[in-house]
Amino acid sequence: MSSLLGFCSPTCKLLKNQSPRSQGRCVITVQLADEELTEDGVDYFLLFAGSTQRHLTSTLRSSHDTLQALCPAHDCCEAVFVTLCSASRGPPEDLNPGHVTPLGEHRFSFVQDLAFDMAQFLVSTAGRSDGLDGALLLDECQIPLQECERLDESLELALHHLLLPPGWSLLGNKLSNSTGELLAPCNSLTQENVQEKI
């Protein structure tokens, strides 16, 4: 998935202005205007400013007038401001290197997606005996194998970025053995380790 951001002027068009909020790793392409093209010694960054989170991503130059960056995952569905900034490197003896200049700003939306909905559903139903009642089974949808693999990757990213409730466990929080004693969930399946395993 890729997005093209144009920062050529205050009135430039934003051709694709959204990304699934939970996934990250979406490639964003920025088209530079003639006045923004510079010699070596300048780095470009994208600053995503939302209501509760800010992200700063570096860019790579893919051609003389095009930059690419990975879109970060975000904590909620919302429109954010994306600012393209340039930073001069300056010579090593310069006492004040890294002068940062904002070059342009656009609105960008982090939107809800199927993978995030599935991740929330799986987390909310973990350990419940009725957790899958009424759930739509993927094989009933006749989703092609390639789409299922892509959905698996998206679900993995969504689970990685999802905030889990305190004490959440894949096995639920009310486990008991055959005598009725409450058991602690296996350490390898607790909230802290699920993030590492994903």
Counting residues of the chain whose pLDDT is more than 90, the rounded percentage is 8
Q: How many domains does the chain have?
A: 2
Among 1-10, 100-109, 136-145, the range scoring the smallest mean pLDDT is 1-10
Q: CATH no. for residue 91?
A: 2.60.40.3350
pLDDT class of 46 with cuts at 50, 70, 90: very high
100 and 25 within one domain: yes
How far apart are alpha carbons 47 and 49 in whole angstroms? 6
- Quickly list H helices, the chain: 114-125, 145-161, 191-197
b/e per residue 32-70 (b: at least 16 CB within 10 A): beeebeeeeeeebbbbbebeeeebebebeeeeeeebebe
Cβ atoms 2, 9 nearer than 8 A: no
83 and 150 within one domain: no
101 and 17 within one domain: yes
Domain limit, last residue, from 95, 111, 127:
111
Domain span holding position 20? 2-111
153 and 60 within one domain: no
What would the pLDDT profile of 64-88 be if each residue is shown by its tens digit? 888 888 888 887 788 999 999 888 8
92 and 15 within one domain: yes
How far apart are alpha carbons 106 and 14 in whole angstroms? 7
147 and 99 within one domain: no
81 and 43 within one domain: yes
Domain limit, last residue, from 60, 94, 111:
111
Tokens representing 102 are: 């904002």
8 and 80 within one domain: yes
Beta strands, E only, 72-99: 78-88
80 and 169 within one domain: no
Task: State how far Cα 91 lies from the chain centre.
Answer: 35
136 and 64 within one domain: no
Residue 23 one-letter amino acid: Q
135 and 102 within one domain: no
Q: Look at 39 and 149; give whichever has higher pLDDT.
A: 149
Domain limit, last residue, from 111, 138, 157:
111
63 and 22 within one domain: yes
Q: Is the dihedral of CA 195, 1, 84, 37 positive or negative?
A: positive
Predicted local distance difference test score (pLDDT) of residue 7: 44
pTM comes to 0.60
- In which residue are the tokens 């466990």 written? 169
Predicted local distance difference test score (pLDDT) of residue 189: 43
